[in-house]
Amino acid sequence: MGWIKRNLFFAVGGLMALVLLGAAGWYDYRSWDHNATSLDRLNEIYGKLKELRDKKPSWGSPKVDNIKTAKDQEADVRAWIAGTTNSFQPIQAIPDELMVTSEDFAAALRRTIDQLQHEADDSGVQLPPKYGFSFEAQRGTVKFATGSLPALAVQLGEVKKISEILYAARVNALDGIQRVRVSDDDIAGPQTDYLGDVSVTNNLAVMTPYAITFRSFSPELASVLAGFADSPNGMIVKAVNLQPAAVVEPAGGGGPSPYQPYQSRDGIPGMPQPPAVPGRGGLPTVLKEQMLRITLEVVIVKPLLLK
């Protein structure tokens, strides 16, 4: 104690120096910890940046901005989609009303079937007896399954458009149109009216399949395919199934069937030409073409962006 009293200023100064040294050590420790944390964060950011740079495609560089390029390309794609409006026009539903009632649809269905039957007669296209154009289940009723009328109205419009393409091509006979089931009433309908597929919806469009079976010769088939290709309603032919059509004799005789092969004086490119056999008079038979029974798988594409 005597020494402290004699060296009071020295003792106080030494104590203060120890305190300051401790504070300096603590500050250095905290600064080191902060620097270590910052370094770890910097390494994490650098690693993320390196990962993005190594991606293919990468975000780019100061001279090449791939992000801006991607945005420009997205704008180009959206502009292209908007420009396809003329090729994917929606088909008008029948009846074309926001709130379709059972009475309205029943009347429109009878009227449309009658119109299609008369148009078939005018175009020389044979139909199955009393054909309902895949709406046999709905044809004889005025009460329909709950919630099914909007989808049925859309399908009726699409079936009408498909039939008119076949009529314009002057096919010999329409054997049937098959559609997807959209109503509980369809379960009790003829199985030949329906497909086992369903409509598919993705981020861009709704794709509804149909199957059309008809009989014709190859020129009419070409006209049908051209009609679907030129349609502004987004009709895409996915598959074509061909087989010879059976020659059917009319009931009770009465001469040859209208489905017997016709004779043509013009050869078809790519087909072997049989030697001309002179007949008793007139021009020789160069080629006999057999009538075909054709089934087309058609998908109607309805873009969501156009709604």
Indicate the pLDDT class of residue 305, thresholds 50, 70 and 90. low
Q: Is the pLDDT of residue 251 over 70?
A: no
pLDDT score of 282: 58
Q: What pTM value is reported for the model?
A: 0.64
For residue 152, the cross-strand partners are: none
Which is more confidently placed, 177 or 249? 177
CB neighbour class for 182 (10 Å; exposed up to 12, middle 13-18, buried from 19): buried
To which H or E segment does residue 300 belong? strand 292-303
Pair 218, 292: CB distance under 8 Å = yes
pLDDT digits (tens, 9 = 90+) for 53-93: 676 665 556 666 777 888 888 888 878 777 777 778 889 99
CA distance readout (Å), 56 to 51, 59, 195: 10, 9, 43
Segment 197-206 long-range contacts (CB within 8 Å, at least 24 positions apart):
201/304, 203/304, 204/81, 204/303, 204/304, 204/305, 205/88, 205/301, 205/302, 205/303, 205/304, 206/301, 206/302, 206/304
Domain ranges of the chain: 28-84, 91-248+288-306
Angle of CA points 95, 98, 104, to nearest 5°: 40
Percentage of residues of the chain with pLDDT beyond 70: 77
Our CA dihedral for 185, 187, 190, 193, rounded to 10 degrees, sits at: 90
Which is more confidently placed, 78 or 105? 105
Q: Residue range 235-263: average pLDDT?
A: 60
Least confident of 104-108, 241-245, 281-285: 281-285
Q: 91-248+288-306, what's its fold?
A: Alpha-Beta Plaits (3.30.70)
To which H or E segment does residue 214 belong? strand 205-216
pLDDT score of 67: 76
pLDDT digits (tens, 9 = 90+) for 16-31: 777 777 777 777 777 7
